[in-house]
């Protein structure tokens, strides 16, 4: 009976981490999907389409710089008071801000106040998602058997493409409306639907228990007063490694998704529907591949899977944009499926588990959040803007975009080489240099 109850509890936790993560990233990515289609026209109007698009991407990217702040606030709460309640608050905050965006008047109605309110609500989204990822990963990994950490940790990672899939599907459906109706009210529907998803997610998350690992630390009296200071003092090298590793996870993702939509419509000549369909299919492949990659990491090691993915993305960056340059639908589908669906999934599936195993439980939330959210700010939110500027500066040359992805991939590859040894089944964490920088679990 005890084993059956434990198994049922673990399955419930996995489901909660997946659903909550998917809902939060649905809200977060929905903005990026709509930014290049709607916000550049309705909230950032300009005589120059390039300026409007750049402003829309800037409003998308600015959130990434607030994510570390949200991460610090929520991770402090998570390491002090527990993972469960912290995740409930972050989900509620995300839902309120997303619904608020769906209700906003446009620039033509309230003028400059429209983009100001839009950016404000976007910043609230950033604060919320800053606390989501780390908590969702810990919720899964801290309840996992040691030999299944990679597989368990892949579930919140699945929430990222699943959230993107929900977002692009929702936008694709309302995009079937006539142009005038889509720009008038159709784009608001996916944002307003977030209310239903958030209520469902809150109900699920409130029904789970606190993680066993955190509960044990609390009983032992190992909860620290200021997790941030403890992390920077004893785990600063792990933070730097996780920051470098984040490059290949976040930069290429936004180039393969958010930036791809405008690139496909403006430079390849595809319709919005075709561009969204390509992202949708590639994202389905990603969602299916992530748990497979997570399970693989339990067999051959997190470090090995990560480095194979990073090397693959570096090598595929040029073929990816070459296939896009052919402007043939089949080739573009193939590029998206290989790049986003297969190679990127090797990174996303295990980066959370890999980060978790670098830090002791009493600063786990803070530790994995620092590198992850700082990396998101530096390499994620800026990626679509940098790519837009590169295209404009170098006369629409796709080679510069390929070089950009290759550089991000190489930086991450080098960073992870500083993890001394590989994970294998039933082994403990990767050992950093010097050894006092890690706490073996």
Per-residue pLDDT at 429: 41
The backbone torsions φ and ψ at residue 238, rounded to the nearest 5 degrees and listed phi first, read -65, -35
**Kind plus residue range of the DSSP H or E element containing 11:** helix 2-34
For residues 424 and 298, give the distance between their C-alpha atoms in angstroms, rounded to a whole number. Answer: 6
**What's this model's pTM, rounded to 2 decimal places?**
0.79
Question: How many angstroms separate the CA atoms of 160 and 32, rounded?
Answer: 13
Chain-centre distance for alpha carbon 336: 17
236-254: pLDDT as tens digits: 888 899 999 999 998 999 8
Mean pLDDT of 133-160: 84
In CATH, the architecture of 2-437 is Up-down Bundle (1.20)
**Which residues, 6+ apart, have CB-to-CB distance to 190 below 8 Å?**
30, 34, 102, 167, 170, 171, 174
Higher pLDDT, 231 or 289: 289
Q: Which two structure tokens, joined as six digits, stand for 149? A: 């950490």
* Predicted pLDDT of residue 45: 80
Q: Is the pLDDT of residue 381 over 60?
A: yes
Residue 393, Cβ density class (10 Å: 0-12 exposed, 13-18 middle, ≥19 buried): exposed
Q: If you average pLDDT over residues 391-399, what whole number do you get?
A: 83
Residue range 214-225: mean pLDDT, rounded: 70
d(CA 369, CA 375): 10
Query: Is 104 a residue whose pLDDT tops 80?
Result: yes
Mean of pLDDT values over 296-310: 94
For residue 211, pLDDT beyond 80? no
pLDDT given at position 430: 40
Helices (H), 35-112: 40-42, 49-81, 83-102, 107-110
Tokens (6 digits) for 194: 């977030």
- Contacts for 19 with CB less than 8 Å, ≥ 6 apart: 159, 200, 201, 204
Say if CB 165 and CB 287 are below 8 A apart: yes
Residue 423 has pLDDT above 70, yes or no: no
Count of C-beta atoms within a 10 Å radius of residue 293: 25
Banded model confidence at residue 281, pLDDT cuts 50, 70, 90: very high
Q: So what's the pLDDT on residue 431?
A: 37
Question: Rounded to 5 degrees, what angle do the CA atoms 295, 301, 302 make?
Answer: 80
Question: What percent of the chain is predicted at pLDDT more than 70?
Answer: 89
- Which positions ≥6 away from 378 have C-beta within 8 Å? 243
Per residue in 3-39, pLDDT (tens digit) is 554 555 667 777 777 887 788 778 777 887 787 788 8
Average pLDDT over residues 80-107: 86
Q: What span, in angstroms and rounded, lies between the C-alpha atoms of 235 and 49?
A: 46
Q: What is the Cα–Cα distance from 280 to 275, expressed in whole angstroms?
A: 9
Q: Work out the percent of the chain whose per-residue pLDDT is above 90.
A: 28
User: What is the maximal distance between C-alpha atoms in the chain?
Assistant: 68
CA 289, distance to chain mean position in Å, is: 16
Pairwise CA distance, residues 315 & 318, whole Å:
7
Q: Do 115 and 44 form a contact (C-beta atoms < 8 A)?
A: yes
With a CB cutoff of 8 Å and minimum separation 6, the contacts of 349 are 150, 153, 154, 157, 289, 290, 291, 292, 293, 294, 297, 305
Tokens representing 349 are 């599936």
The mean pLDDT value for 331-353 works out to: 94
More confident residue, 270 or 222: 270
Residue 369, number of CB atoms within 10 A of its CB: 37
| Model confidence pLDDT, tens digit, residues 40-91 | 888 888 777 777 777 777 777 777 778 788 888 888 787 777 777 788 888 8
Please state the domain extents for the chain. 2-437
pLDDT digits (tens, 9 = 90+) for 311-320: 999 999 999 9
């Amino acid at each position: 009976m005890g084993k059956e109850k434990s198994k049922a509890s673990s399955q419930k936790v996995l489901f909660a981490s997946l659903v909550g993560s998917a809902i939060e990233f649905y809200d977060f990515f929905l903005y990026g999907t709509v930014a290049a289609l709607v916000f550049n026209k309705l909230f950032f109007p300009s005589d120059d389409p390039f300026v409007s698009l750049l402003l829309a991407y800037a409003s998308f990217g600015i959130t990434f710089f607030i994510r570390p702040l949200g991460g610090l606030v929520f991770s402090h709460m998570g390491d002090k008071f527990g993972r469960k309640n912290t995740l409930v608050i972050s989900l509620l905050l995300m839902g309120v801000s997303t619904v608020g965006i769906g209700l906003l008047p446009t620039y033509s109605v309230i003028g400059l106040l429209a983009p100001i309110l839009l950016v404000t609500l976007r910043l609230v989204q950033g604060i919320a998602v800053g606390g989501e990822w780390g908590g969702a990963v810990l919720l899964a990994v801290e309840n996992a058997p040691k030999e299944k950490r990679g597989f368990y940790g892949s579930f919140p990672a699945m929430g990222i493409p699943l959230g993107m899939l929900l977002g692009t599907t929702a936008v694709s459906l309302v995009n079937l409306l006539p142009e005038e109706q889509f720009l008038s009210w159709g784009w608001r529907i996916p944002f307003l639907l977030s209310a239903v998803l958030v209520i469902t997610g809150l109900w699920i998350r409130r029904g789970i228990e606190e993680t066993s690992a955190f509960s044990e630390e609390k009983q032992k009296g190992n909860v620290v007063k200021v997790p941030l200071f403890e992390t920077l003092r004893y785990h600063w090298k792990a933070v730097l490694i996780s920051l470098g590793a984040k490059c290949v996870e976040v930069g290429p993702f936004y180039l393969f998704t958010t930036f791809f939509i405008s690139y496909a419509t403006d430079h390849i000549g595809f319709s919005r529907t075709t561009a969204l369909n390509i992202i949708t299919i590639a994202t389905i492949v990603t969602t299916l591949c992530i748990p497979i990659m997570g399970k693989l990491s339990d067999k051959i090691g997190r470090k090995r899977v990560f480095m194979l993915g990073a090397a693959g993305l570096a090598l595929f960056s040029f073929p990816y944009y070459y296939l896009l340059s052919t402007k043939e639908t089949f080739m573009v589908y193939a590029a998206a499926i290989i790049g986003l669906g297969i190679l990127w999934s090797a990174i996303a599936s295990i980066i959370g588990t890999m980060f978790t195993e670098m830090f002791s439980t009493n600063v786990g939330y803070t530790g994995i959040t620092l590198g992850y959210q700082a990396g998101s700010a530096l390499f994620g939110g800026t990626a679509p803007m940098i790519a837009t500027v590169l295209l404009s500066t170098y006369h629409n040359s796709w080679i510069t975009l390929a070089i950009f992805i290759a550089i991000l991939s190489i930086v991450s590859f080098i960073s992870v080489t500083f993890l001394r040894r590989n994970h294998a089944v039933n082994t403990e964490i990767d050992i950093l240099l010097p050894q006092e920088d890690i706490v073996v679990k």
